[in-house]
Structure formats: C-alpha cells, structure tokens
Amino acid sequence: MLPIKTIITVIEDKFPLANACLWDFTGWQIKGKITINKILVCLDITNIVLDQALAADIELIICHHPLVFASDINHPTISPWKKKLYQKIKNNDINVYTLHTNFEKDDKGMNVLMAQDLNLENINFLGQEKLAVVGNLNQALSVSTIIKNVKNYFKIEYLQLIGNQHQIIRNVALFWWCWRWCHYYLA
C-alpha cells in the first residue's frame, strides 16, 4: 500500500506538469482514496475501462487522455455520458490522473517510444510544442510496406491511404493525438 502522494510525486518528477501545453488538462482529474494498492493504466477512460477498474478494486487510474477536457465537469462541452462516467468514478472513490502532453513531449514519452518501436533513426522533435517527432527509416520503404508495418504495430485491421502506395519513403514524422488517431506524414 502506497500513499497517493508518493505515486504522484514519482510521476511528476519524471513528467513535470510544467512541461504540459498551456491549453492541456494534464494532472489530477478526480481525487479519491489516499492509499493505493492497485493501479490501472489506460489510453482513455471508457465505461468498459471503468467496469474493469471496479471489478479489480482499482484505486488509481492513470490515463493518457483527459477524461474531462475542460476546466470542470459542468463545462458545456462535456457530454452527458462523460458526466455520468465522472460521477460513477467519484462515487467509487477512484483517483484519476492524466499524463497527456507532458508525456508526449518527453524524450521517453509517447511519440519517441512509438518512433523507436517503428525503428526510426535520428529521432527529433518538431515544432515549439514538441508534439510530433521526425525520424528516418533505416532503409527506404514503399508506402504499402510502411502501412503494413503500422497496421501490425498498432494491431489495426484497416488504414486509409490517400496517395500513392508505391511511393518510396525514407523520412517519417508522426504525432499521437486527436483521440486515438495516429497520423503519419511521409516524405
């Protein structure tokens, strides 16, 4: 059993909230129990994820995407199903903590990890906000081969291409955002 404060301190030491984009809602979403035995890590909190958390007696959910992407749950942009999910989490005294852009921008964060897993070399951040990375393939590949690799990596059945599947690619830029869509710009 660990105090929640100890866990969050370790997380914030590695991925400081100060590194998040100004527009982001990273960090605490919901505070619950102060001692933690079980943690669930997920990309998004959904009804299915929450049901799994409840069945496993989870006290802390660490998610990538904020459950509430607004200053508070009563913001007019928050959908009714999110409000209901939020209330169910509160009623069950579960903590929710988000690692979003502060995790994406880190040199051991989401974008760099994906780039490494996709075997990119010479990986560098793009732009001031560092929400994208660019790298080189160790050998030039056709777009169709890259698509096959991406589908295998992300375990997805379909991927839509607008362009020439025979084009040969060496440089890849990628960024992870917009609610589960992985975007690739190939050159």
pLDDT at 141: 92
Spatial distance between the Cα atoms of 79 and 73, rounded to a whole number of angstroms: 9
Beta strands 60-63 and 95-98: pairing type?
Answer: parallel
Each residue of 142-186: pLDDT tens digit? 999 988 888 888 888 888 888 899 999 999 888 765 334 444 444
Q: Could you write out the DSSP letters of every residue in 69-95? A: -SSSTTSTTS-HHHHHHHHHHHHTT-E
Segment 5-9 long-range contacts (CB within 8 Å, at least 24 positions apart)? 5/34, 7/36, 7/39, 7/60, 8/97
Spatial distance between the Cα atoms of 124 and 115, rounded to a whole number of angstroms: 10
pTM: 0.81
Per-10-residue mean pLDDT, the chain, length 187: 96 95 93 96 95 98 93 89 96 97 89 87 89 91 89 85 90 65 45
Strand, helix or coil for residue 144: helix
pLDDT at 180: 40
pLDDT at 176: 62
